[in-house]
Structure 1
Amino acid sequence: MSQPVRPVPAATLLLIRDTPEGLEVFMVVRNRSIGFASGALVFPGGKVDTQDSALLHTDLAEGFDGLDPFEAACRVAALREAYEEAGVLLAHRASDGALIPGKALEALSHNRAPIASGALPFADFLRDQQLRLAAERAVPVARWITPPESPKRFDTLFYVAAAPQDQTAAHDGGESVDSVWLRPAQAIAEGEAGKWLIIVPTRFSLEWLAQYRTVAEVMAAARTRAVRPITGRVEVRDGVEMFCVDEDAGYPRSAIPMMELNRGF
């Protein structure tokens, strides 16, 4: 029997905002040419890069001291990917500690593609703009690990953060080909109706978000949420095939009928 593939560290960020219609989360549609979750509606994110760990040993990050090295690198990756894929940057100006304004960030949008391709190191970009990544603005809420039998595996930390009001989120046109702000319950309903392809960890995350009415409620819940590895499994209960997680995983339901899901991992 062959050994399971070692999971690749990854991170994703749930960017949320308040609207008159209720809480919304920013989601992107992955390019179908990408091997993992191609065409799926997901939160911005991606693999942890060696530069993410290296950045922790510079003066370009605030609030990362004392964090577990794995989690800290994942948090840097989540913030970097949010800028690459969504154009949202959770970083403070070194001059006054204020979050970079949306207008100033818009003027830097031409840097997104070079950062994503690796032509422009993220650390160089931050240093040139005199910015510091803000660890406290992204809070870990889950850790999903692809099942051992999968040919491609990820160890993904999920984070949640309030989207800055004056920054405009938009997909990059490369890894993601579309983007949308959706109420969590709306995303679930549209996924079940076949409008979106939604993978299992995304579905559980949406159900968790759907419990709350405001950004403040979500962030308060996130800061007290226990984060432990989740793999998930398929079980047959009373003749119904279910995708299950442990009861203490922290979701409204620990089992979802497979008929309600339109994509696995």
Structure 2
Amino acid sequence: MGGIPLRGELVERARDILAGRVEPVPARDAATVVLLREGNGGEPEVYLLRRRASMAFAAGAYVFPGGGVDPRDADHTISWEGPSPAEWGRVFHTTERAARGLVCAAVREMFEESGVLLAGPSGGSVVADTTGDDWEADRLALIDRTLSFADFLGERSLVLRSDLLRPWAHWITPEVENRRFDTRFFVAALPPGQRPRDVGGEADQVAWVRPADALEDSRRGRILLMSPTRRTLREISAHRTVADVLAAEREIVTFMPGVVEVDGEMRIVLDDDHGSGAA
């Protein structure tokens, strides 16, 4: 049987939503970045964070860096290199303003959660090192929202490199959840000279791992993966190099797992979960 069984109060909530007695919570715009590097054998490795057990959303799960869009992420003063917000909007089937916020949120959240920054002094460069105390102070100020992403880039005279991102997928949190996100997935290669670091915060563990290894660990119950992460890892594992991943032609299709009742048990499923034995 496919899918993920619901437990506790979500069971009744799912029944109420299916019966039309409860309205789903609106989904908030969010962005996620699959950060890639070449492993020892040349195969792609991905950067995963394990969310703290105390987190309200996806506690204990291994995820890619990402998070919700800050309204200030759509600031028009941000210097930009690469595909325009309008182009990203066409790719992700959304407005130009929303697309600007999504791309900026992707770059900002990855810096907040890994210390990796897709920006540089010019359109053809990327900062080589973000490990100093001044960078850390800015990272923390971004997290507590005392510093906007536009001001952060502007004060350092940096250009956002949207050309270093590639679109990958679009996932919406199931309607049964109390916290919901409308998330666009991006992929990006680790810039030369930069190195991610365990910066704490929402994650209590980080790791570089081959997608196939992460999937095997999940199958054996050693790590927890949500459906979007698992499917993305499966897709990336089909590519032999990071360059192949970045060159992949992607048609952005929206996925939103549904809720079904099977033999009295409420389960979250995708269409291809039925009969697959995978969640």
TM-score (norm 2): 0.80
Match of 1:5 in 2: 25
Q: CA 1:258 to 1:38, structure 2 compared with 1: closer, same or farther past 3 Å? A: farther
Deviation at 1:134, TM superposition (A): 0.8
| 1:62 correspondence with 2:81 | yes
Match of 1:99 in 2: 126
Counterpart residue type for residue 81 of structure 2: E
* Equivalent residue in structure 1 for 2:115, among 67, 82, 87: 87
Match of 2:190 in 1: 163
Cα distance in 2 for partners of 1:172, 1:139 equals 25
Cα distance in 1 for partners of 2:182, 2:231 equals 16
Match of 2:170 in 1: 143
1:106 aligns to what SS in structure 2?
Answer: coil
Counterpart residue type for residue 161 of structure 2: A
Match of 2:73 in 1: 52
Instruction: Please show how residues 212-251 of structure 1 align to structure 2 within 5 Å.
Output: 212-221=239-248, 224-233=249-258, 243-245=269-271
8 Å contact kept, 1:235–1:244: no
Deviation at 1:151, TM superposition (A): 2.3
Match of 1:250 in 2: none
Deviation at 1:180, TM superposition (A): 0.3
Match of 2:64 in 1: 43
Q: Considering only CA atoms, is the larger Rg found in Structure 1 or Structure 2?
A: 2
Match of 1:24 in 2: 45
Aligned sequence identity (%): 36
Let me know the Cα RMSD of the aligned residues.
Answer: 2.2
1:225 aligns to what SS in structure 2?
Answer: coil
Count residues with an aligned counterpart.
243
Residues 212-234 of structure 1: per-residue CA shift (max 9 Å, x gap): 1101100111xx20112111336
Counterpart residue type for residue 155 of structure 2: D
8 Å contact kept, 2:236–2:245: yes
8 Å contact kept, 2:47–2:207: yes
Q: Structure 2: where are the runs of 5+ without partners? A: 1-20, 90-95
Cα distance in 1 for partners of 2:245, 2:224 equals 24
1:66 aligns to what SS in structure 2?
Answer: helix
Cα distance in 2 for partners of 1:207, 1:161 equals 17
Deviation at 1:190, TM superposition (A): 0.9
Residues 133-152 of structure 1: per-residue CA shift (max 9 Å, x gap): 11111111110011223322
Cα distance in 2 for partners of 1:6, 1:242 equals 18
| 1:208 correspondence with 2:235 | yes
Residues 30-53 of structure 1: per-residue CA shift (max 9 Å, x gap): 122221101110000000111111
Cα distance in 1 for partners of 2:142, 2:161 equals 18
Residues 2-48 of structure 1: per-residue CA shift (max 9 Å, x gap): 22211111110000011223210001111222211011100000001
Cα distance in 2 for partners of 1:182, 1:257 equals 28
Counterpart residue type for residue 115 of structure 2: G
Match of 1:249 in 2: none
Cα distance in 2 for partners of 1:4, 1:242 equals 15
